[in-house]
Each structure stands twice: as structure tokens, then as C-alpha cells.
Amino acid sequence: MGGGAAGELVDLTGEDSGEDDPLNYVPEAALAHVRAAGGGGAVLQFQQDIVDELLERDGLTCIAEGLGLVEILALLLKEHTYRVGAGAVLILGLNEFNRTALKVHCKMHGMPYPPVITAEVTGNRREEIYRNGGPMFVTTRIAAVDILREALPPSNIQGVIVANGHRVTDMSQEAFVVRLFRSGNRRGFLRALTDRPGDLTRGFSKVDQVMKCLMTRQLNLWPRFQLVVRACLDAHAPEVVELRQPLSNRVKKIQEAIVQVMEECMTELKKSKHVDTSELTVEAGLFKSFDRIIQRQLDPVWNVVSRRVKQVVWDLRTLRNLANFLLRYDAVTFLRYLETLRLTEGSMSMWMFTQHAHTIFEQSRRRVYALRKPPASGGPEGLGEGSGVGGKRAAPPESTAPALHMVLEPMPKWRLIEEIVKEIDDDKEKLLRKMENLAERYGQGPTLIVAKDEAAASQLTGMLLRGSDGLMRLIWEKYLRQRKAAGDAAKGKEKPTADAGAGGPGGAGRGGRGGRGGGRNMNVAVIGTPAEREAIAVEADRLHKETLRKARAQNAPAAQARARAGHKQATGDLDPAGPPPAKQQRKGKGKTATVGSTIEEEREETTPADIYVHALTDRAAVLATVRPSFIIVHDPDAAFIREIEVHAAHRPGARMRVYFMVHDTSVEEQRYLSQINYESDSFANLIRGKAHAAMPFEQEGRVYNETPLAIAGTSGANTRIRGGQLSNPTKLHVVVDTREFMSSLPSVLHQSGFKVMPCTLEVGDYVLSPSMCVERKSLPDLIESLRNSRLVTQMQNMCRHYKIPILLIEFERDKAFGIQNPADVPRDLNYNTTQGRLALLIWRFPKMRVMWSRSLHMTARMFADWKYAEEEPTVEVAAKVGVPQGADAGERNSVNQPAIDMLRRLPGVTDSNYRRVLAAPDVVCLADLAELTMERMQEILGDPRQGRTLYEFLHAQYPVHMMGR
């Protein structure tokens, strides 16, 4: 990073700059290179080397975050796009963020965007896409079902590309698809990409497990310090100006108090015997991964962990958010967040009762406002101006009440951004004068400002439009309006009392009883003394009156015009229709905010054309789209810094200046440095592990093995073959509902040697034999099904059609094996408890069997034991169970299954009448159903009551008052 004094801008536009100034020298060769690369066809050397390495040999490639994972994926797809008839290339594991960026890079390389196959695509259309071949995005559930149904034979698959390979586990859907593909295709390729080296080193032998699930033996590592990467990026490094902004005294005190409270919570957490104390540090607590670490340790014993330890875990998460929000959002928003925490967690949170928590609340209040007493009169009490006979009386006692003084401390970086934007404008104007004779106005690209999230980006947009002081005033007025609305709402529900809103931080106030919140209105959560709350209420009333006065003055000319035209009402404040809507008042081109307007409403209309503000969470290919010449990094992020370096290397010779902003000696700086060090250490561990790794030759799955997957622990095991697997394959069949492929149990069953046959079942989730059916419930699904009585209907159907109905209650492997903490179980069980409802279900269906499973692998072993001496099920028979006579249960490819699922959830539509809707000639889609009359709906459903219920639901008036303004 380039040097710059703390909080000062580096002078880059001195008048004495000569021909050596990099901003003045524009080589023609560089301009020609940029024009040639303008279409996006330029490829960096290390990116092409990564692609060539994967094309030469399958493997898992791990690159540093920000080096262009999506660009490398686009280059891989380009190699397979124009190979007609070569087979399908399945792309798995790509999230929506990566897909958005991939669209831009596909367009830059002049290649079509691959088709996306989801549940909305019908079966016939999917088969047509499979026959055409080429790259395609497929959800893991659809890919697994189609391969098992032989709609997509593995022999017709050219290969599989797995993005975000660090997420693959032995029970993930990606590993299931890879296993299905390799079991029927020994020659196809398997390639995986990831840019998260830290996730590959977390846990015991994580990278070995991932490579085993991906069936690959080659690990390719491309860190930032790799020689080819370093030479490529350093040769065209952008100009960087590092600006270290010091914190204000109040922000420093709040940050120190947050760190102190986190240390106290860490000390309390170390007292628990269930937590590994080696990873409990304040530095680790600044990252979201800390929550996963703690949760992974406490999940197996969560049902026996004390409430105190659970609350400490939640408090650490809240404190981390406080540390992030302190340097990301303005003072008023941060104060509102603290008030919300006090209102929602005040009685449960432990950190709020610490000594340092008072500092957090007090300093946050002082950043926004302060109370000042009015100056006292000079004379004695009762002897003021004109004292004596006929003199004026002294001022009443109310005039001595403290007044509210606005502080409204802006964010430390806002002033700095204003100076940077002014400097950029001066540089552009100066450079434009020196380049009047050039055909291409070199170096005049837009300015890009990048913030952490959308909320921070919205505030930066408002700051650029109104200035720091103007934005803070607008946010403060919005805060007061909300306080006014909350106070009016509380007064409308209950009578005001003399001590309303004077409750303590954790008190419940003196309001009446009732719903959630009871007598606690929002005024109770206002931080400060009763005098401060009263002063805020007075200021809110004053702002409300001033707003009404401005609205009347603005509407007075229109009201007078209507009065002259013969309207009965003469003034605007008497008009029953009220003032015109805020959007109608903002039709002008000015930047002045109107009453009720928000920053988001004016963002698109008034943001300068050459300044773009984006969030890091939504930055997909923003550099390639905007092509900025000036970049302001508001929140430091190592991945985005590398993206800037890659973008600069794509445009050699194009001048680019980056303003890197960071708060000096702050939690933000510590988090950024820890992120870089963690990635470097992760790559170092991967390099050492790769040097000593010994991968078995048959791990790739290319060598034919008749029993790659079987149930261990039965007779005939050979302990010399990979830990005791069977020498003869098992032939256990199980029919699985297609909706169950959202879980990992079908993958575990296939891994354990079962022949999984997918089918849309009307009754049950798994059919083990013609007489045995299983309804699988996870713990959250069990509680919800017992609450809404859906499980009762499912058990009725299973008991009607199967001899042995089984309810399988399945727990997760790493979580507690118990429904509830024994200490929380009430003495008297009733119907309102989960245990009571389950007991009533068992009493009502005596034929039902209840099985408890500790993990997915235990479920697979239980299925194998239950199927002993039982006949194997068939798809044809299982699909017809529960289907009325005459209905076609086998043809599912020509219908939209998600639409049918939506139809079955509508009120009035049941399992017995939804097929009547599908068979109706005048109902092709759900929109046609909404246009039917009540008589026609009753005729189709065959029940007047159910038809009326469906009609009233579809034609119910939408609650307009609940829409956000």
C-alpha cells in the first residue's frame, strides 16, 4: 500500500508536475492494448495456466480469494461450449452471486450463457436439454433424481464441474451426484474449484475428506504469493493511496468497552467444561466463523448446557455485530440499534449488566445529542428585569428545564470521502485540459465507491447528495418522527400516565397488561434519563409542528387556486384529501428531500452520473461492468483488493487510482490483517499437507470395482480391502419420494449399498417393502407436524394402505439426542407439549411403529435390518398407493411439480380433490384457477364448502394498510 499521512490526502495534482507525472504520460501502445482488450477477450497468464492444468488432469484447484474464480470457470466453460454431441457438462455448487458474475464474463467472451435447470423445468424439457449437451447449471436434487431415473444416463455426461468445492462433504448432494456419475462413467472428467483455503484447513484432515468425496487425487494451489500470480499482478499494479482515518474519542471509548465486554464473556465461557478454550480469543470472536466453531462444540450437548452458557454465546454474537456496526453506520442508526437491543434483550442479556456496557450506551448517546441547561439570570431569584412595583415576575420554573443540544457526530470517513471526491473532480478537469487533442479521453473513467453492505452504500449515496451534516440531520429527523409515531401509538392504546416511559432499562413500565411488550412502548427503550426522554419528546413535537407548517405553506397556493375555481375549501389544511403524496411533490430535478422521502427513493434520480456506489455483497462483476478509473474502498476487504489487481492487470497501461481507507488502530484494521494472515497460514498448511499426502490410486474411481459402496459390519467382510467392506454387493431396494432428495438420507442410503429408486409418492417418504412404509421426520418437522395435525393425516393414510407403518424420528449426528432439556420438561404433560401430542398420536394409531435414529448412517442400518426377509418394493406399485382409480400416477414429466405442490397448499384443496383441478379443461395454470367463479370452483372440487373456501381465499382483499410506504 502506498504511503499517506493519517487522515490526509496525498497530493497527486501539483502544479509543478512535468512530463514524468504518471497522470500526464499516455503511451499510444498502452492505448492500443486497451482497445484490443476492450471486448473482454484478454486472459491473464496465471488464469490460463490454471485452466490448462485442470484440462490436463482432473483435480481440486484452490485459489486465493479474489483472483477470479468466476473468470476461470468461464474459461473452462468456453472449452466445452462448442463441442456438439460430446455430452452434458453438469455445473454444480454455484450460488446466485457467482451466476450473476458469470453472465457478465460469458458475454465478454462472446459465449452463450448455459441453461439453468431447476424444479420449474418440466421433465420433457430437461431431457431435451440433456440431449443437446454442453454446459448446464443443474440443481443437485434434480441431477440426482434424473440420473437415478435414467433420464440422464451417466454415459451421456461428459463431465462434472463443482464450484465452491470446499462445501463438499460425505453427505452433501454434490458428493452424491459425483458418486452417481462415476459409478456409470469411468472416463468422464471431474473438476472442482474453490477460493476458500481457510475452509479446507478447518477441522481434522478436511482437504483429504473433500478430495475423497470429489473422487480426485490432484490438489492445485494458487496463492497470491505464487510466482506466476505475483509477476502478473505486480507488473500492472494500480496506484494505491492508503488513508488511515483516526477515530474520535467517543468512538474509541465505545470500541474499547466492546472489547472489554467480549473479554468478560470469553472468561465466562471458558468456565464451561464443554468448550475448547484454545480457540476462545477476542480476535477470533470478530469473525462469523467463531459462531460455527462454538456451535460445533456445543451442539452434541446443547440439551444439557446451562442457560447461562447459551446466553453468553448469543451475547458474543451481539457484541460482534456491535463492533461491526460502530464503524459502518452513523451515530443515530447505531443508537437506534442499541435501543432495539435494550427493548428486546434487556431482561435476558448478560452483557448489558456489566460495567462497560454503561460506557457503550452513554458514549453512543453523546455522539447524537446532549442536554444543556439554559443560562441562569444574573439577579437574585424573583428580582429580574423591572423588579419592584409594577415590575415583571420571574420566569416560571418550566423555563429552567434542560434543552436538547444536537451533536450529530458524522462518521469519521465521511469527511474524508468528500475531500477525495473533490480531489478526483479536480484531477479529471486538469487531465481533460491536457488531453484535448487525443481521440480517446484516456483516464476519464467513472468513480466507484465500495461499501460493506447495501445499508452502508445507501448512506454513502445520501452523504454524496446532501453532505455529511445534511444526511445526519435527515436521519435525526426520521428518528424523531419514529419516536413521535411510537408515542402516539402507545397513547392510542392506553391512557397516558404521569410516569409513562420512565421505567428502568430492564423494567416493564407501568402500562397495562396485554400482548407482547405489555405497557412498554418504544419510549422506554430510549437511552438516557427521564429528562432526556422528555427532551426528545419535546423536540419530536416541535419537528412535527414545523413539518405541518411547511406542508401548509407548500400547499397553500394550490388550495387558493382551487378556492378561486369554486372549491368549497379555501385552505390546504382543511382539504379532506390532505396534501398531495410525497412522490408527487418530488417531480422536480432538485436534490432537496421532501417530507417522508427516503435516501433510497432519490438514489436513482440524483446520483451523479460518473459516481457509482456498490456494496461488497452485491459486487458481482462490478469492475468489468463499470470500468472505473478511481476506486474508493470504504471498508477494507482482501478479496476485493485482489479483484482490483486482477482488473488492473486486464487493462495494462490504463491508469487506475485506488483510495484504500481504514480506521487507524481499530477493530476494522485488526479484522483485515487477521483475514490476510489466516489465508496465508491456510495456504502454508495446504502446501505442507500436499507434500506429505498419499492418495490411493483407486480414489479417482476410474478403476472398475464391483463393490465400491456397501454396508460395513456384516458377514463376509474383508478387512484388507479399505476397512472391511463386503466382497459381495448387497441388493437392497428402497423407493424414495422425490421431495426427500432435499435431505442427505438418499445419499447415505446409496453410499450404504441400497438401490435408490426415486418416485413421487402419495403416501409415506420411503417404501421398504410392499407392506412397510416409513414417514421420516426431523426434530423441527416433527414439532411442527404435531402442532398443525399434519402428521395425523399422514398416519391415517399409512395405516390404511400399509401393514407396517413406521414413524422415523431422526436426529442430526453432531447434535444432542433428545427432544428437550430434561430440566425444561413440565411435570404435568398435556396436549400443548410435544411429548403429550406424541403420546396421543401413539394411542390413536396402535399399529404405528415409532423408531428413533441417532444419525443418518444409523438410519441406513435400521432400514437394512427392517428389510430382512421382506420382499423388494417396485416403483410401479408404490406410485399407485393412495392414488384414486383412473388417475395416472406414472406420467410426471409433462406437469409442473412445484405448481402442483403450490396448488395442494391452497385452502379448500385436499389430497382427494386436487386431481379434479388438474383434470379440469379450463384450468391450465394457477392464474386460470383464480379467474373461475365460485359455482365453477364448487363444481370442480365436488364440495360446495371447499369451493367457497378456495374462492374466498383467492379473492380476499389485500391488506393495503400493511404495505410499506
50 with 80, same domain?
yes
Query: Which DSSP symbol is given to 721?
Result: T
How would DSSP label each residue in 404-438? EEE--PPPHHHHHHHHHHHHHHHHHHHHHHHTTT-
Which CATH number fits the domain that encloses residue 921? 1.10.150.20
Q: Residues 458, 464, 466, 470: what is their CA dihedral angle, to the nearest 10 degrees?
A: 80
814 with 912, same domain?
no
Query: Smallest Cα–Cα separation from 148: which of 608, 566, 849, 749?
Result: 749
Query: Which DSSP symbol is given to 450?
Result: E
The confidence score (pLDDT) of residue 263 equals 85
Which CATH number fits the domain that encloses residue 125? 3.40.50.300
Rg of the chain on CA atoms, in Å: 34
Q: Is residue 23 part of a domain?
A: no
Quickly state the pLDDT bin for 439 (edges 50, 70, 90): very low
d(CA 551, CA 918): 56
Strand partners, 157: 88
How would DSSP label each residue in 517-575? TTT--GGGGSSS-HHHHHHHHHHHHHHHHHHHHHHHHHHHHHHHHHHHTT-S--SGGG-
Does pLDDT of 704 surpass 90? Answer: no
The confidence score (pLDDT) of residue 825 equals 64
The confidence score (pLDDT) of residue 837 equals 84
The confidence score (pLDDT) of residue 320 equals 86
The confidence score (pLDDT) of residue 375 equals 61
Quickly state the pLDDT bin for 814 (edges 50, 70, 90): low
Q: Considering only residues 7 and 680, tell me which one the structure prediction assigns the higher pLDDT.
A: 680
- Write the pLDDT tens digit of every residue in 835-863: 788 888 888 888 889 988 888 888 999 99
Q: Which of 372, 401, 425 is the last residue of a domain?
A: 372
164 with 263, same domain?
no
Q: Is residue 642 part of a domain?
A: no
Q: Is residue 76 part of a domain?
A: yes
Q: Considering only residues 962 and 10, tell me which one the structure prediction assigns the higher pLDDT.
A: 962
Lowest-pLDDT choice from 186-200, 407-421, 531-545, 705-719: 705-719
- Mean pLDDT on 185-201: 90
Does pLDDT of 106 surpass 90? Answer: no
- Mean pLDDT on 637-657: 88
Does pLDDT of 556 surpass 90? Answer: no
H helices of 764-813, where? 779-787, 790-801
What number of other Cβ atoms are within 10 A of residue 408's Cβ?
17
Strand partners, 154: none
Residue 133: φ, ψ to 5°: 75, -170
Does pLDDT of 264 surpass 60? Answer: yes
Number of separate domains in the chain: 4
Q: Is residue 312 part of a domain?
A: yes
Lowest-pLDDT choice from 365-374, 594-603, 884-893: 594-603
191 with 336, same domain?
no
Q: Indicate if the alpha-carbon torsion angle 67, 68, 72, 78 is positive or negative.
A: negative
Residue 69: its H or E element: helix 69-81
Residue 22: φ, ψ to 5°: -60, -20
Instruction: Kindly give, in sequence order, each residue whose CB lies less than 8 Å from that of residue 868, ignoring residues fewer than 6 positions away.
Output: none
Quickly state the pLDDT bin for 450 (edges 50, 70, 90): very high
Which CATH number fits the domain that encloses residue 873? 3.40.50.10130
Q: Is 540 exposed, middle or buried (0-12, 13-18, 19+ CB in 10 A)?
A: buried
Cell of 139: 440443481
Does pLDDT of 36 surpass 60? Answer: no
- Write the pLDDT tens digit of every residue in 475-495: 888 888 887 777 677 666 444
What pTM was estimated for this model as a whole?
Answer: 0.74
- Write the pLDDT tens digit of every residue in 511-553: 333 333 433 444 444 556 677 777 777 777 777 777 777 777 7
Q: Is 399 exposed, middle or buried (0-12, 13-18, 19+ CB in 10 A)?
A: exposed
873 with 901, same domain?
no
Give the range of the structural domain holding residue 871, as residue numbers without chain letter. Answer: 733-819+830-880
Mean pLDDT (the chain) is 76
Query: Smallest Cα–Cα separation from 143: which of 746, 762, 775?
Result: 746
763 with 811, same domain?
yes
Does pLDDT of 707 surpass 70? Answer: no
Query: Smallest Cα–Cα separation from 852: which of 824, 804, 818, 815?
Result: 818
Instruction: Kindly give, in sequence order, each residue whose CB lies less than 8 Å from that of residue 410, ignoring residues fewer than 6 positions away.
Output: 330, 331, 468, 469, 471, 472
CA atoms in the 13 A half-sphere facing the CB of 392? 6
Residue 616: φ, ψ to 5°: -65, -30
d(CA 404, CA 118): 58
849 with 780, same domain?
yes
Are 681 and 219 in contact, with CB atoms under 8 Å apart? no
d(CA 273, CA 300): 13
d(CA 603, CA 826): 55
The confidence score (pLDDT) of residue 144 equals 92
Cell of 406: 444536537
The confidence score (pLDDT) of residue 821 equals 61
Place of cell 429552567: 400
Residue 458: its H or E element: helix 454-493
The confidence score (pLDDT) of residue 702 equals 66
Does pLDDT of 589 surpass 90? Answer: no
The confidence score (pLDDT) of residue 807 equals 92
Lowest-pLDDT choice from 186-195, 423-432, 700-709, 830-839: 700-709
Query: Smallest Cα–Cα separation from 793: which of 819, 762, 834?
Result: 762
Q: Angle at CA 904, nearest 5°, toward 901 and 909?
A: 165
Query: What is the distance between the terminal CA atoms of the chain, rounded to a whole angstrom?
Result: 45
193 with 52, same domain?
yes
User: Which among 565-579, 695-709, 894-908 has the top mean pLDDT?
Assistant: 894-908
Q: Is residue 644 part of a domain?
A: no
782 with 850, same domain?
yes
Are 266 and 280 in contact, with CB atoms under 8 Å apart? yes
Q: Is residue 428 part of a domain?
A: no
Q: Indicate if the alpha-carbon torsion angle 39, 41, 45, 51 is positive or negative.
A: positive
Q: Considering only residues 211 and 588, tell me which one the structure prediction assigns the higher pLDDT.
A: 211
d(CA 458, CA 787): 42
Q: Is residue 651 part of a domain?
A: no
Q: Which of 323, 352, 372 is the last residue of a domain?
A: 372
Are 465 and 591 in contact, with CB atoms under 8 Å apart? yes
101 with 137, same domain?
yes
Lowest-pLDDT choice from 79-83, 540-544, 612-616, 813-817: 813-817
- Mean pLDDT on 192-201: 90
Are 594 and 430 in contact, with CB atoms under 8 Å apart? no
- Write the pLDDT tens digit of every residue in 658-676: 999 998 888 888 888 888 8
- Mean pLDDT on 741-764: 89
Q: Is residue 200 part of a domain?
A: yes
Q: Which of 232, 257, 290 is the last residue of a domain?
A: 232
The confidence score (pLDDT) of residue 138 equals 92
The confidence score (pLDDT) of residue 905 equals 79
Residue 919: its H or E element: helix 914-919
181 with 91, same domain?
yes
Q: What helix, strand, coil percent values describe the chain, rounded to 5?
A: 50, 10, 40
d(CA 154, CA 146): 10
The confidence score (pLDDT) of residue 774 equals 92
The confidence score (pLDDT) of residue 328 equals 86
- Write the pLDDT tens digit of every residue in 869-919: 888 888 888 888 877 655 554 444 455 667 777 887 788 887 677 778 888
What number of other Cβ atoms are within 10 A of residue 546's Cβ?
11
104 with 158, same domain?
yes
Q: Considering only residues 507 and 227, tell me which one the structure prediction assigns the higher pLDDT.
A: 227
